[in-house]
């Protein structure tokens, strides 16, 4: 070990790096081989640090070790002298796996023999600064200098990066002069978010489409899978990619692959926007594919609800497919996998296979013929559940060895009935269905990163077209749970009514509560396309909801806690025209009756005047919104318990009296309705965290999460509303018509409250 450390240090590695390299047996062995080859070429001369670093970087990234001596020679003979050239060389080798590679084409691709002089760098930088002259003068040192560097590096691909940067810095200083005090002041932050996630941009923010379009994500282009870091190139890769391009025409293809065993939640909204949005932004197509490989948990209602929610968010699948569409082909491929020696039949029990430190299977080297026979018997139902599985011979990135490909389940399948009693697992099915459907970009959340190696391995083991898996961060919300198992617990214990209870954050629940799909898409755009897991507060989602509803929900007047008011001097009953959108009356209006008997909110009257209170008291009049009247209290009527039950007032035209301090809403000849007010379901931010809630999430329920008001009053303008129609009840909040509504009784859910008004007391 000491000798190896010394060898590695002799070519420029630090002692710590040398010791770390030795921990990886395959890497250290290849690195030693490269050093030996280099020393054979140099003779008595030593390997300098630059060449040593390039050799190390080469062996860490090289997939085809048949090219080791080829690249080593280019490095030690100083034909490849920079990291940029090395990257270009590795990319070229990836895309040209054939043996008889054109050396001249290779050398041109990685800049061998290209010399960039200081004069050339100076001339190019001068042209770029001249191009951006006006913006540089306007923004001075707040200009994004990365633009200059980027254009310079593009024009001078093989130039030394430090020389280019020094030249840019020097010419900018010469052009603008030294920094002034104004240049040194901190630039104020600009806050933004999208108002229309699919097309509009607000301020400096990018819409979701812009975030997902073209080069924004640095994803590979269709057919250039091999350029992706970690992608495994085989001798047949380029032929498979060529065939893939012929079948797809170079079209971007993605898919959204939910399991049909539960209702989609807010986290899935990001996945839907990402998968369908990425395809849409790049003129591609997206499949909705049900991963229906576990018949024990799948129900028709989940299939229907998933498609409904995808379409509710505004996306139309190119095609709706199922993993079960390919059950026969998947089985045939499993047989092929066994024949190739990459899979075997195993009798270890399920409990033995749990965790990561599972004992090696004693059946791993079972003869191919024996595994084929047992797999056929397994297919014919000759074993009990759990008695035998088909396992793949590979190690996953998280260290898990030989994942299961097929298991037995004697449960009829939703689509195939009793045709099959063996079902493929996610690890086996997912990548193969992606390959079958010619998916270009397999987008999934970060927890599936540990399965990326098995994804590439399986496609290559079967010599099939291999898509590229890309991971992004999950979207989580505080004050909620989204686990299917935990939501079922909430339903079974009667805490919530069903999966669409408006206190949950399933998509069906959010729709029922009145959240517009556009607001959810806007929220996903605000969160952005992140690799890191994101945990957001519910009020950020509610903010997106308010902005959409403010522009789309017509106004109505509703009273939640009615107080009867009799206007003793109103000459005659009349009708009042109320604008649907007071800020833009051109968008329409509706008519409501105005009679001697009206109802106001109990909180809009106080018998005893308090400092700062601006609404109705015996000594203080108040205006009635839209009616053109100001009312004054003449008599307060109380019931037997001393509670105020009615007011007698007089009215005067608002033109004839002093302007009151406040205007309140009211209803006359109203409809009776039920109103449901919702608060957070849980008391703590993280109800699943034992540190916050030691007794478990079921102990953290907010007792005030639902308040029902049976006898609320609302004006007649909402009388013909349809389920999920949305309104702003003036001064109260945003509400949506619930599916429980009948022709005799309307039921409204409060979607969100209005923005806080500091002037309202």
Residue 342 and residue 104: Cα distance in Å, rounded? 39
Q: Which of 236-250, 307-321, 432-446, 744-758 has the lowest mean pLDDT?
A: 744-758
Tokens describing residue 469 = 């898996």
Residue 136 and residue 80: Cα distance in Å, rounded? 36
522-574 pLDDT, tens digit per residue, is: 999 888 877 777 888 999 999 999 999 999 999 999 999 999 999 999 988 99
- For 59, phi then psi, to 5°, come to -70, -25
CA end-to-end distance (rounded Å), the chain: 77
Tokens describing residue 86 = 């090395």
Evaluate if residue 304 carries a pLDDT over 60. Answer: yes
Choose the catalytic residue: 122, 126, 139, 259: 259
414-431 pLDDT, tens digit per residue, is: 999 999 999 999 999 999
Query: What's the confidence (pLDDT) of residue 186?
Result: 57
177-197 pLDDT, tens digit per residue, is: 888 877 776 554 333 333 333
Choose the catalytic residue: 307, 474, 489, 606: 474
Tokens describing residue 478 = 């505080």
Tokens describing residue 644 = 């105020």
> How large a percentage of the chain has pLDDT more than 70?
94
The DSSP code sequence of 691-708 is TT-TT-GGGGB-TTSEEE
| pLDDT band for position 514 (cuts 50, 70, 90) | very high
Query: What's the confidence (pLDDT) of residue 205?
Result: 53
Q: Are 699 and 653 in contact (CB under 8 A)?
A: no
Query: What's the confidence (pLDDT) of residue 199?
Result: 40
Query: What's the confidence (pLDDT) of residue 399?
Result: 67
- Max alpha carbon distance in the chain (Å)? 114
Buried b or exposed e, range 413-441, using 16+ CB within 10 angstroms: bbbbeeebbbbbbbbbbbbbbbbbbbbbb
Query: What's the confidence (pLDDT) of residue 397?
Result: 66
Q: Which helix (H) or strand (E) holds 10?
A: helix 2-10
Q: Please name the residue that has the structure tokens 């086996």.
A: 428
66-118 pLDDT, tens digit per residue, is: 888 889 999 989 999 888 888 888 888 877 776 677 888 888 888 888 888 88
Question: What are the CA-CA distances from residue 551 to residues 199, 346, 540, 583, 750 (Å)?
Answer: 17, 61, 18, 9, 17
Query: What's the confidence (pLDDT) of residue 673?
Result: 96
Catalytic residue at 61? no
Tokens describing residue 156 = 């001078």
CA 440 to chain centre: 19
Evaluate if residue 227 carries a pLDDT over 90. Answer: no
Q: Are 265 and 482 in contact (CB under 8 A)?
A: yes
Tokens describing residue 516 = 């517009």
Strand order of the sheet with strand 285-290?
253-256, 285-290, 319-322
Q: Can you list the domains of the chain with their CATH numbers?
A: 1-110 (1.10.8.1290), 133-183 (no CATH), 322-429 (3.90.800.10), 559-669 (2.40.240.10)
Give the β-pairing of 253-256 and 285-290: parallel
616-658 pLDDT, tens digit per residue, is: 999 999 999 999 999 999 999 999 999 999 999 999 999 999 9
Query: What's the confidence (pLDDT) of residue 235?
Result: 87
Choose the catalytic residue: 307, 366, 484, 606: 484
Task: Name the residue with higher pLDDT: 736 or 27.
Answer: 736
Evaluate if residue 146 carries a pLDDT over 70. Answer: yes
Q: Which helix (H) or strand (E) holds 452?
A: helix 452-461
Residue 11 and residue 56: Cα distance in Å, rounded? 9
Task: Name the residue with higher pLDDT: 340 or 2.
Answer: 340
Query: What's the confidence (pLDDT) of residue 736?
Result: 97
Can you give the pTM of this predicted structure?
0.73
- For 691, phi then psi, to 5°, come to -70, -35
| pLDDT band for position 215 (cuts 50, 70, 90) | low
Catalytic residue at 492? no
Buried b or exposed e, range 495-523, using 16+ CB within 10 angstroms: bbeebbbbbbbbbbbbbbbbbbbbbbbbb
Return the ∠ at Cα 545 (arms to 541 and 546), rounded to 5°.
Answer: 120
Burial class (CB in 10 A: 0-12, 13-18, 19+), 119: exposed
Query: What's the confidence (pLDDT) of residue 604?
Result: 96
Query: What's the confidence (pLDDT) of residue 144?
Result: 80
Mean pLDDT for the stretch of residues 338-343:
96
Query: What's the confidence (pLDDT) of residue 355?
Result: 66
The mean pLDDT of the chain is 89
Catalytic residue at 259? yes
Residue 23 and residue 3: Cα distance in Å, rounded? 14
Query: What's the confidence (pLDDT) of residue 29?
Result: 87
Tokens describing residue 226 = 């091999």
Residue 159 and residue 111: Cα distance in Å, rounded? 10
Mean pLDDT for the stretch of residues 472-498:
91
- For 403, phi then psi, to 5°, come to -65, 155
Tokens describing residue 199 = 């097309």
């Amino acid at each position: 070990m000491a000798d190896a450390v010394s060898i590695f240090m002799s070519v420029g590695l630090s002692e710590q790096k040398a010791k770390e390299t030795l921990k990886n047996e395959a890497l250290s062995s290849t690195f030693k081989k490269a050093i030996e080859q280099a020393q054979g070429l140099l003779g008595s001369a030593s390997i300098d640090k630059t060449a040593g670093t390039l050799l190390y970087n080469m062996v860490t990234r090289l997939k085809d070790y048949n090219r080791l001596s080829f690249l080593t020679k280019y490095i030690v003979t100083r034909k490849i002298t920079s990291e940029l050239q090395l990257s270009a060389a590795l990319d070229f080798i990836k895309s040209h796996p054939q043996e008889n590679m054109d050396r001249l084409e290779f050398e041109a691709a990685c800049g061998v023999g290209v010399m960039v002089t200081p004069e050339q760098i100076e001339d190019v930088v001068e042209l770029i600064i001249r191009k951006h002259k006006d913006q540089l003068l306007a923004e001075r040192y707040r200009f994004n200098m990365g633009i200059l560097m980027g254009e310079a590096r593009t024009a001078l691909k093989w130039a030394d990066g430090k020389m280019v940067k020094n030249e840019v810095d020097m010419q900018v200083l010469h052009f603008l002069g030294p920094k002034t005090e104004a240049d040194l002041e901190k630039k104020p932050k600009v806050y933004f978010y999208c108002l229309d996630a699919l097309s509009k941009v607000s301020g400096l923010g990018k819409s979701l489409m812009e975030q997902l379009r073209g080069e924004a994500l640095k994803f590979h282009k269709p057919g250039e899978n091999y350029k992706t870091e970690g992608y495994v190139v085989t001798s047949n890769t380029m032929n498979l990619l060529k065939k893939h391009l012929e079948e797809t025409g170079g079209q971007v293809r993605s898919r959204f692959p939910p399991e049909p065993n539960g209702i989609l939640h807010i986290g899935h909204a990001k996945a839907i926007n990402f998968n369908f949005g990425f395809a849409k932004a790049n003129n591609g197509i997206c499949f909705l594919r049900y991963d229906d490989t576990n018949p024990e948990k799948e129900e028709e209602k989940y299939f229907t609800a998933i498609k409904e929610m995808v379409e509710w968010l505004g996306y139309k699948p190119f095609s709706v497919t199922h993993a079960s569409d390919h059950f026969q082909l998947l089985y045939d491929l499993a047989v092929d996998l066994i024949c190739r020696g990459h899979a075997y039949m195993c009798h270890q029990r399920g409990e033995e296979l749990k965790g990561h430190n599972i004992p090696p299977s004693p059946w791993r080297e079972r003869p191919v013929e024996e595994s084929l026979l047992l797999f056929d018997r397994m297919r014919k139902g000759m074993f009990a559940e759990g008695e035998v599985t088909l396992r793949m011979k590979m190690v996953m990135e998280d260290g898990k060895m030989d994942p299961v490909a097929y298991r037995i389940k004697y449960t009829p399948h939703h689509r195939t009935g009793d045709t099959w009693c063996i079902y493929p697992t996610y690890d086996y099915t997912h990548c193969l269905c992606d390959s079958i459907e010619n998916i270009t970009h397999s987008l999934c959340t970060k927890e599936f990163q540990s399965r990326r190696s098995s994804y590439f391995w399986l496609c290559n083991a079967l010599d099939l077209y291999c898509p590229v898996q890309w991971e992004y961060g999950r979207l989580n919300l505080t004050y909620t749970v989204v686990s299917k198992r935990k939501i079922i617990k909430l339903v079974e214990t009667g805490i919530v009514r069903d999966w669409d209870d408006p206190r949950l954050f399933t998509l069906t629940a959010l729709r029922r509560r009145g959240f517009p799909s556009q607001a959810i898409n806007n929220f996903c755009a605000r969160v952005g396309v992140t690799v890191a897991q994101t945990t957001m507060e519910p009020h950020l989602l509610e903010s997106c909801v308010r902005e959409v509803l403010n522009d789309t929900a017509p106004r109505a007047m509703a009273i939640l806690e009615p107080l009867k008011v009799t206007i003793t001097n109103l000459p005659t009953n009349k009708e009042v025209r109320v604008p649907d959108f007071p800020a833009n009356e051109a968008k329409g209006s509706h008519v409501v009756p105005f009679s001697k008997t009206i109802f106001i909110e109990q909180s809009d009257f106080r018998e005893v005047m308090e400092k700062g209170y601006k609404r109705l008291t015996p000594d203080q009049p108040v205006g009635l919104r839209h009616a053109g009247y100001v009312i004054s209290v003449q008599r307060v009527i109380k019931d037997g318990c001393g509670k105020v039950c009615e007011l007698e007032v007089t009215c005067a035209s608002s033109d004839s009296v002093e302007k009151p301090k406040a205007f309140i809403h009211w209803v006359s000849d109203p409809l009776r309705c039920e109103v449901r007010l919702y608060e957070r379901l849980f008391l703590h931010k993280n109800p699943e965290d034992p540190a916050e809630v030691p007794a478990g999430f079921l102990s953290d329920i907010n007792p005030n999460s639902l308040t029902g008001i049976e006898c609320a009053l609302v004006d007649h303008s909402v009388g013909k509303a349809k389920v999920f129609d949305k309104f702003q009840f003036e001064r109260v909040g945003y509400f949506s018509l619930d599916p429980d509504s009948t022709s005799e009784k309307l039921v409204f859910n409060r979607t969100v409250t209005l923005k806080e008004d500091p002037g309202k007391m």
